[in-house]
Structure 1
Amino acid sequence: IASDLNGWEACYEKAKHLHPGQAPKRSHGYTMYHGTHKSNAPAIISTGFRPSMGGTLGPGVYCSRDINKAMAYPGSCATNDRVVLKLRVRVGKVKKIDAQSIHLQTTWHQNGYDTAWLPSTMGGYEEDCVWDPKRLTVVGIAHCTDSSTKTSLENLIKQQGNGTGQGQTGSVGVPCTSCGKQTLDKHTVEKCWACKIAICAFMDKHVCLKV
């Protein structure tokens, strides 16, 4: 943290958001997206995901770090009925599915992996399949054309406690009242030496009113 007598500027690590071609690292948590019908979204937020029985990568919960992939799902409903959930995903042990590992396309979990990763180089948008739904936490609404539905879903996320639905794990915390960032532990708040305004060290920047 760089500071002076009239304020400070803080640097912090934002939520890890991988580019489509970047390989996810084992045991890390990442921002990803899941498209669903707006009528299904409340149940997902409240009780967690129900894994699909099959798909390109076999059974599991499908999501993508590329919002464009999630925006196309479900394919059977109208665009205005689609909701894209913003997720925090703890990937665990990841298996990249490419030409060399195509034989594990639907059997990766039986071989000890928690997540299968299908990169965009395999002919489409990047895609992930997570075996255990408890590894996914809904933390926000990335897309919803109906403002009232979006507000309702966002309120539901808050009601679940720390942005984590029942049956989900990996809490992302609550917003700090000073910096607004998610936190599991309460941030220490200090006062600016000059203007005496309360400042959290994780704020992007504080501009002193007396400068």
Structure 2
Amino acid sequence: MSIKFSGWEVFCEKSRDLKPGQAPKSSRGYTMYHGTHKTNTTAIISSGFRPSAGGRLGPGVYCSRNINKAMGYPAFCPPNERVVLKLSVRVGKVKKIDGQAAGMSHTWHQHGYDTAWLPPTAGLEEDCVWDPKRLTVVGIAHCTDPATKTSLETLIKKQQKEPQGGQNTQKSAKCQVCGNQTELNHTIEKCWECKAAICPFMDKHVCHKRG
């Protein structure tokens, strides 16, 4: 007796949260945090981030998966004037900046990387994202003023419904076959049995052709 099966079924890990020392995987999306002065929040939400001119990892937008890291910024600012933004970050190609790659701490983007990741070996982990369009504000993680927090959350919801300018103008396309968000078009193939259109990133495909 022989068994013939055409198709597949997979279980995908879609968690956006990683352990503190766990390296972010390229082309994934993660929840991160960015601390800023409350006077900057409206412009960031409405128009997107403005990359810093420099820093420990060079130019870019700095954020962290550890909210405690973001809670300390801006450094010379009263705690009650700090706001921590919750972000959705598409990291793209990631470069780990450790002892072996210390020489690339300011040149990683020139080598084709979109994000530099500093592991929590000398403090709390930190990320630097080259393109601000890879970051989207999705919530307010910390704000001591309830009225300001409510106002900012309302603005975020408005931006999500009516995207305009800055960070929200560039959206990932959705694959018409697998339904997943993607920056690059997926290669569509045909099932070797039923000839139906299939995508390698589909969670499940079962061929119903009868022999």
TM over 0.5: yes
Question: Is residue 36–residue 74 contact of structure 1 (8 Å, CA) maintained in 2?
Answer: yes
1:148 corresponding residue in structure 2: 147
Tell me which residue corresponds to 2:106: 106
Q: Which amino acid aligns with 2:139?
A: G
Specify the alignment match of 2:189 in structure 1: none
Q: Which is further off, 94-103 or 16-25?
A: 16-25
The residue number in structure 1 matching 2:59 is 59
Q: Structure 1 pair 51/149, CA: closer, same or farther in 2 (3 Å)? A: same
Matches of 1:67 and 1:163 in 2, distance apart? 28
Q: 2:24 maps to what in 1?
A: 24
- Residue 39 of structure 1 aligns to a residue whose secondary structure is helix
* CA spacing shift, 1:111–1:14, aligned 2, 3 Å: closer
The answer to whether the 8 A contact 1:139-1:164 is kept is: no
> Is the CA contact 1:48–1:167 (under 8 Å) kept in the aligned structure 2?
yes
Deviation at 1:148, TM superposition (A): 0.2
Q: CA deviation digits over 1:150-208, x for unaligned, max 9?
A: 00000000111249663214659xxxxxxxxxxx9xxxxxxxxxxxxxxxxxxxxxxxx
Unpaired segments of 5 or more residues in structure 2?
1-11, 173-180, 182-211
Count the aligned residue pairs.
163
Correspondences of 1:56-205 after superposition (within 5 Å):
56-121=56-121, 123-162=122-161, 166-169=165-168
Larger Rg over CA atoms: 2
**One-letter amino acid matched to 1:128:** D
CA contact (8 A) 1:137 1:171 kept: no
> Match of 1:46, as an amino acid?
S
Q: How far apart are the structure 1 equivalents of 2:92 and 2:163?
A: 18
Could you tell me the TM-score, scaled by structure 2's length?
0.72
TM-score by length of 1: 0.72
Identity of aligned residues (%): 71
Output the CA distance in 2 between the equivalents of 1:128 and 1:91: 9
Partner of 1:205: none
Q: For residues 75 and 163 of structure 1, what CA distance do their matches in structure 2 show?
A: 33
Residues in 2 aligned to 1:95 and 1:159: alpha-carbon distance in whole angstroms = 34
Question: Aligned partners of 2:120 and 2:103: how far apart in 1?
Answer: 18
Could you tell me how far apart the structure 1 residues matched to 2:96 and 2:151 are? 37
Answer whether contact 1:118 1:126 (CA < 8 A) is retained.
yes
The alpha-carbon deviation at position 76 of structure 1 amounts to 1.2
Runs of 4+ in 1 over 3 A off after TM superposition: 12-15, 162-165, 169-172
